Amino acid sequence: MASAARDVYVSQSALSHTIHDLEEVLGQMLFHRKSKPLRFTGAGLRLLSLADEILPQVDSAEDDLKRLKLGNEGRLLLAMECHSCFDWLLPTLNEYRAQFPQVELDLRIGMPFDPYPALKEHMVDVIFSTDPTDDPAIYFAPLFRYESVLICSPRHRLAKRKIVHPADLLEETIITYPVEEKRLDFFSRFLNPAGAIPRRIRHTELTMMLIQLVASGQGVAALPSWAVHQEVANGTLHSLKLGRKGLTCDLYGAVRREDAELGYMSAFISTSRRVSFKNLRELSEVPTRSR
């Protein structure tokens, strides 16, 4: 008893009183007090077994809480509608996983829900978006600015031009991702403001398939210039500027403001930026905006 009291930093008398109080609550003895050395009763052995099971879990939970406080462990459930973002996201995830192996990573594509309410309700943790809002609960971390271009087959009637206008696409088949038009810059900022409704819209989820369909002359599409740089360079595709000024888009990583300063979260954003500028062409910094 004296040794146990020293281990828990109390007097032997205080420990004895605590054990006595516990026995009063349980209505049974925990020790055979007349034995030397002191022996547990059946009830005492059961509580000892419980302590051996629970206390390591308590210690583990305390360690987890310390890591969470430091921001080195948590969950990153990513959501994206930018299917072409795989060109920079997969290398980002590979590098990030090596730095933060304890962070749980997962990815959702083509969200069937309104993304920002889902973010605030902790259904997802990061949303890649070109459509920032003024919601004070969400922080939009700037990643990069890029230009979206129209692509067509080198044999297409538009292939001799360098610039395309909304009216030029009225009789075209537009090949795009299965995402709401209001969340696609090509529609919300280029076609719709001009009242241009294409003859047909065709959907595909895979960027590779979209490029193949366009290259085979089955329609035209709008993609980031960096996503089709190689195909344009080798003559598989022809690219055109969307309007005289072009269509520039700013990509953000939207996170809950309360999580923005967590170590693993800020590291993911910085890794995304670094890998993107390293691997992609024709990127620029996102201008500062009030957030």
Tens digit of pLDDT for each residue in 17-39? 999 999 999 999 998 888 888 89
Tens digit of pLDDT for each residue in 173-224? 999 988 888 888 999 999 999 999 999 999 998 889 999 999 999 999 999 9
User: In terms of domains, do 23 and 137 share one?
Assistant: no
Q: Is residue 290 pLDDT above 80, yes or no?
A: no
DSSP assignment string, 42-104:
HHHHHHHHHHHHHHHHHHHHHHHHHHHHHT-S-EEEEEES-GGGHHHHHHHHHHHHHH-TTSE
Residue 179 within any structural domain of the chain: yes
Question: Any idea what the CATH number is for the domain that residue 128 is in?
Answer: 3.40.190.10
Q: In total, how many domains does the chain have?
A: 3
* Distance between first and last Cα of the chain: 61
User: In terms of domains, do 50 and 24 share one?
Assistant: yes
- Segments forming the whole domain that contains residue 152: 146-248
**pTM exceeding 0.75:** no
User: In terms of domains, do 125 and 190 share one?
Assistant: no
User: In terms of domains, do 134 and 81 share one?
Assistant: yes
